[in-house]
Amino acid sequence: MGMKVLVTGVAGFIGFHLAQALLDRGDTVVGVDNLNDYYSTALKQDRLALLRQREGFHFQHLNIADRDGMAALAAAHPDTAAIAHLAAQAGVRYSLTDPFAYVESNLMGHVVMLETARRFEGLRHLVYASSSSVYGLSEAHPFSLDDRADRPASLYGATKRADELISHSYSHIHRIPQTGLRFFTVYGPWGRPDMALFLFTRAILAGEPIELFNHGRLQRDFTYIDDIIAGVVRALDRPPPVVEGAVPHRVFNLGNNTPVELERFVAVLEDALGLKARRHLAPMQPGDVLSTHADIEESRRVLGFEPSTPIEAGIGRFVDWYRAYYRV
């Protein structure tokens, strides 16, 4: 018999895949999403349509920052055993355009979620999405959980680090078992259209140039969605113990542990598409960092997290999905 899991951001990239995985193993999923238009709502609706076909899935169109709405949701599902809080305003560059969206979703929304969690008497665990962006201007590589993470390069990164600190305080005061997951550049089928792989694929197929920031001299720890979901599920099933003298709050890196040069990433995509890209070399963008690289030793030890998808396989699967979905 599975458990009831509340998944926020369920129509999003990671939330959709997580809901599928939880339903596959027999859990009941209560999905929440406000279906905002940061990117194509059609893509979100298509993900949601697949989930609506599944037995055990319930959807609520709701903004996580809506206090009354979230309280009513909690009252309707008092037997919720776990929360996977993935809803957030995503994107580094967009935080320069609409900073208030990040304050509402990532700060107010996070606090409302924590207050909502307090309403569930039988709650075993709250897992929430953090980000590699919390490391900001850190010069240590790979990014370690021991890094101070107090020099954010973007408002997005700052809000995610603030979420970790807020969660720590709630775990300390209210004894809510929580785990924060720092995701590193997640990609794969049904991915976000504002991410590099999606943008590059669309442009190459259209014969348009792709924009390589910092003249292509960037590295990212690209992590395939299936590996990420395996890590999220493992984390969800392993709440930190609630014991005297310890705060039941942990943070883990979920990354591929293999940074890839942007030029190499594009070359693999060109092979998968059978087309050559036209490159436009652009300067570094405000809020960006030169490189990300996850130290996953703690994730391996505690969660048994072991990413196994090379970019050749992951990009190939994305291209297959993209061509089928967009019929190109």
Tell me: pLDDT of 327 over 70: yes
The single-letter code of the amino acid at 189 is: P
Domain presence at residue 281: no
Who wins on pLDDT, 40 or 234?
Answer: 234
Active site residue 156: yes
Catalytic, out of 39, 102, 156, 224 = 156
| β strands within the chain, DSSP E | 4-8, 28-33, 57-61, 82-85, 125-131, 178-183, 186-187, 209-212, 219-220, 223-224, 249-254, 260-261, 278-281
pTM of the model: 0.96
Angle at 244 between CA 239 and CA 246, to 5 degrees: 60
Structural domain count, the chain: 1
Domain presence at residue 160: yes
pLDDT digits (tens, 9 = 90+) for 70-105: 999 999 999 999 999 999 998 878 888 899 999 999
Domain presence at residue 180: yes
Structural domain containing residue 242: 4-184+224-255+293-307
Domain presence at residue 313: no
Domain presence at residue 153: yes
pLDDT digits (tens, 9 = 90+) for 183-237: 999 999 999 999 999 999 999 999 999 988 877 778 899 999 999 999 999 999 9
For position 287, what pLDDT does the model report? Answer: 67
Domain presence at residue 54: yes
Question: Which CATH number goes with the domain that contains 86?
Answer: 3.40.50.720
Domain presence at residue 233: yes
- Average model confidence (pLDDT) for the chain? 94
Distance CA 317, CA 266 (A): 15
Domain presence at residue 11: yes
